[in-house]
C-alpha cells in the first residue's frame, strides 16, 4: 500500500473515532480527543499537566503512534505512525484549529477565556500521517500461540458427577 492509499484508509478510520490513544517517547498510551481541520488531525496538548489534556512531551516528541479504538474499546480499529508538528499561536492555522477544537471540546469550562488560556498554557499539535499503518481492522497485539503436541494434554479422565472418597471407615 502506498502513502496516498494509507492516508485515505487512515482518514476513513478517523471518521469513526471520537478519541485516540497516543504513544510517544516510550511512554504509556494516553487518551486524547482530537479534531479534523482541513484534513489534518489536531490535538490540544497541555504540557504542564493541568486539566485540559495532559500530554507532556508530545510537542517535542517528533513522532507518535496513534491507536484508533474500535467499539467496544477493547479492540483497536487501526494504528498508524504520525509526525508531530506544533502550530505557532496567533497564526491563521493556529486560530482555525483552535476554533474547531473549541467546538469539539466537551464539558469545557471558561469558554470566554478558553482561546487565551490555550494560547499561553497549551500547544495545538498536528498529527500528520507518515503513511505507515502499524495495525488495521481489529488486529490485536496479542496472538494465540501455535498448538504443539507438548502443550496438548489429551483426554481428561471421566469423573463426571462422582466424587472419589479418600476417607477410610474405621472398624
DSSP codes of every residue in 25-51: TTPPPEEEEEEEETTEEEEEEBTT--S
Give me the pLDDT at residue 58, please. Answer: 92
161: left (phi over 0), alpha (psi -120 to 50) or beta: left
Asked whether 98 and 37 are in contact (CB, 8 A), the reply is no
156 within a domain of the structure (yes/no): no
**Which of 105, 91, 106 has its CA nearest to residue 44?**
105
37 within a domain of the structure (yes/no): yes
Question: Which residues does the chain have with pLDDT short of 50?
Answer: 137-143
Looking from the CA of 36 toward its CB, the CA atoms found within 13 Å total 13
Give me the pLDDT at residue 96, please. Answer: 94
76 within a domain of the structure (yes/no): yes
Query: Could you give the number of structural domains in the chain?
Result: 1
168 within a domain of the structure (yes/no): no
107 within a domain of the structure (yes/no): yes
Give me the pLDDT at residue 141, please. Answer: 45
Domain extent, residue 39, equals 3-139
- How far out from the chain centre does Cα 19 lie? 7
Rg of the Cα trace of the chain? 25
150 within a domain of the structure (yes/no): no
Q: What is the DSSP letter of 54?
A: B
Q: What CATH code is carried by the domain that includes residue 42?
A: 2.30.110.10
Give me the pLDDT at residue 104, please. Answer: 80
Name every residue whose Cβ is closer than 8 Å to that of residue 127 and which is 6 or more positions away in sequence: 22, 34, 40, 41, 42, 43, 64, 66, 82, 83, 84
153 within a domain of the structure (yes/no): no
164 within a domain of the structure (yes/no): no
Amino acid at each position: 500500500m502506498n502513502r496516498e492509499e494509507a492516508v485515505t484508509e487512515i482518514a476513513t478510520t478517523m471518521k469513526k473515532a471520537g478519541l485516540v490513544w497516543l504513544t510517544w517517547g516510550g511512554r504509556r498510551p494516553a487518551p486524547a480527543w482530537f479534531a479534523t481541520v482541513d484534513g489534518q488531525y489536531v490535538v490540544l496538548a497541555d504540557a504542564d499537566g493541568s486539566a485540559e489534556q495532559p500530554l507532556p512531551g508530545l510537542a517535542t516528541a517528533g513522532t507518535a503512534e496513534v491507536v484508533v479504538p474500535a467499539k467496544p474499546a477493547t479492540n483497536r480499529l487501526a494504528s498508524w505512525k504520525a509526525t508531530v508538528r506544533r502550530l505557532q499561536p496567533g497564526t491563521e492555522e493556529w486560530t482555525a484549529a483552535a476554533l474547531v477544537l473549541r467546538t469539539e471540546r466537551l464539558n469545557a469550562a471558561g469558554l470566554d477565556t478558553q482561546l487565551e488560556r490555550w494560547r499561553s498554557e497549551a500547544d495545538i499539535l498536528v498529527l500528520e500521517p507518515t503513511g505507515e499503518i502499524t495495525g488495521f481492522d481489529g488486529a490485536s497485539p496479542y496472538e494465540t500461540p501455535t498448538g504443539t503436541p507438548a502443550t496438548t494434554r489429551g483426554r481428561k479422565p471421566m469423573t463426571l458427577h462422582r466424587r472419589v472418597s479418600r476417607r477410610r471407615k474405621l472398624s
